[in-house]
Amino acid sequence: MTHRFGILRRFHFNLPQRIAAGLLAIFLIQGLWLTGHQTLTDRDYQYARCGRETWERPSPLAGYFTTCGNIHDGILAYRLAGLPLTLNLMAERGLDLFRKPEDRVVQAGVPTDRSSSVGWEAGVPTDRSSSVGWEAGGELSSWELRHQLTHILLLLRLPFLLAGCLLGAGLWWVTRRLYGNLGGYTALALYCFSPAVLRACVAPNAEVLAALGVYGGVYTCIGVAHAMQGPRRKWRPRIVLLTAAFGLAAASHIAALPVVTLLGLAAMLWVAEGRRAQVLPVVLVAVAGALVLVFACYGFSPDAFSYVFRSAAGFLWVSMDPARRFFSALPNAGITVATAGALVLYLGIGKSRYFGNTAPLVCALVLMVLVMTGVLGSPWLWALPFLLTFVGGVFADAYEGARGRLVLGAAGAIVLLQAVFCVLSLPGLL
């Protein structure tokens, strides 16, 4: 059997995978429910307009990447928000060729707001904060598209919902591989009923993308460190995956790149005994590749790319306020109780204090106290997958102890508590 078919043969979709898929389906249903109770906001129009411009045409304004200016707070989020709209518009234009003129979906017309005081230059509003009017070449603006395309609100959020599902799948894969099925179920269940994660997935923003990049980057670093103990031919695919994870983090928030680099480097130095001299070159190659990916996201525009480093997008500071707000919020009660219980077990049970539990705890502590001072960002959200990995690992160790059934029942009650608070926080249920 060839290598690629061997990989397919090793993939199984048995009961553990089905339970995980069911939990992720519940997560997706909650996200769709939240989306169905939302309305389009000015922020949505900004992401739609600027995101479409990154795909459909360069900015007519000299020196700027889009009419929003040179994006420095996460270009990937804008691209992902605009991609479904661009693809949907292209599909509708293609289908319009087979429709009667009066039945065509994409109708060219006049601007929807003739009374606007916004000026016009080359068919683009000179006020960059405006969403009304024409785009260059007589194309429909994102404001007008809300009447022309169906499900525009869902299309804007779908990439971020899918990223949230992918992050949950990654969390499940890591925790199950490290701690077994029960540890994986515990971590994934708390993740799928986390209101903070759900809110991040139902609005165009870079936080869930950055969380995916940071979490994937750190654990890919650990995987590369383990692979470095074996033959070199096994290094290359993992280094390519590491470059992609670093690129995802950097394109989401440029500040996430040094954070994931330092955390991943520390984890690799811990694991790669006998190969530590080769760790730094591997990480530097991944960082260089990540910067190339970010450059590609800016359409290889040197001005737009350089503006990222001339802005305040990478500024970070430390504060306990994000952790205090998160753990004191009632909808996070289950996660708070689980974290407190895991810390007690971690400090009280010696066999729980090993690398598999300590590494995610350190990452969660570091990320939970970081704040972004230059642009909007939520590093505390990047910490949640690591925190839940730690909780799943410590509880998995306790499940195997003398009072495993008691711990299992307590963990089930905690997950149920979190699920109840999460569901009650959904709009339209009460």
Residue 121 is which amino acid? Answer: E
String of DSSP letters for 212-265: HHHHHHHHHHHHHHHHTTS-GGGHHHHHHHHHHHHHHHHHH-TTHHHHHHHHHH
Q: Render pLDDT for 302-355 as a digit per residue (tens, 0 to 9).
A: 888 888 888 888 899 999 999 999 999 999 999 999 999 999 999 998 889 999
CB 215 within 8 A of CB 385: yes
Q: What's the predicted TM-score (pTM) here?
A: 0.88
CA distances for 421 relative to 38, 107, 120, 369, angstroms: 20, 45, 50, 25
Residue 145 pLDDT greater than 80, yes or no: no
- Written as six digits, the tokens of 87 are 């693809």
DSSP 3-state of 23: helix
- Beta pairing partners, 85: none
Domain ranges of the chain: 10-35+159-424, 42-150
Instruction: Give the three-class secondary structure for 121.
Output: strand
CA separation (Å) from 58 to 53, 54, 61, 388?
Answer: 6, 7, 9, 42
Q: Which residues contact 295 (CB under 8 A, 6 or more apart)?
A: 305
> Over 50: is that where the pLDDT of 225 sits?
yes
Q: pLDDT digit string (tens) for 71-97? A: 888 899 999 999 998 888 888 778 877
Give me the half-sphere count of Cα atoms (radius 13 Å) on the Cβ side of residue 191. Answer: 36
Quick check: helix, strand or coil at residue 370? strand
Q: Which of the residue ranges 66-70, 196-200, 301-305, 378-382 would you say has the lowest mean pLDDT? A: 66-70
| Residue pointed to by tokens 């017309």 | 109
| pLDDT at 69 (0 to 100) | 78
pLDDT of residue 302: 86
Other beta carbons less than 10 A from residue 273's beta carbon: 10
Is a pLDDT exceeding 80 seen at residue 112? no
DSSP state of 372: E
Q: Are 184 and 16 in contact (CB under 8 A)?
A: yes
- Per-residue pLDDT band for 121 (boundaries 50, 70, 90) equals very low
The whole-angstrom separation of Cα 183 and Cα 188 is 9
- State yes or no: pLDDT of 127 exceeds 60: no
CB atoms < 10 A from the CB of 43, how many?
Answer: 13
Could you give the C-alpha distances from 424 to 6, 194, 415, in angstroms and in order?
A: 45, 12, 14
Q: Do 253 and 210 contact (CB within 8 A), yes or no?
A: yes
Burial letters 304-322, b for 16+ CB under 10 A, else e: bbebbeebebbeeeeeeeb
Given a contact cutoff of 8 angstroms between Cβ atoms, the answer to whether 77 and 205 are in contact is yes
Q: 61 exposed, middle or buried (CB, 10 Å; 0-12, 13-18, 19+)?
A: middle
Q: How many residues does the chain have?
A: 430
287-302: b (≥16 Cβ within 10 Å) or e:
bebbbebbbebbeebe
pLDDT one-digit tens code per residue, 350-392 = 889 999 999 999 999 999 999 998 888 899 999 999 999 999 9
Q: What is the pLDDT of residues 200-219, one digit of tens each?
A: 999 999 999 999 999 999 99
Q: What is the pLDDT of residue 118?
A: 33
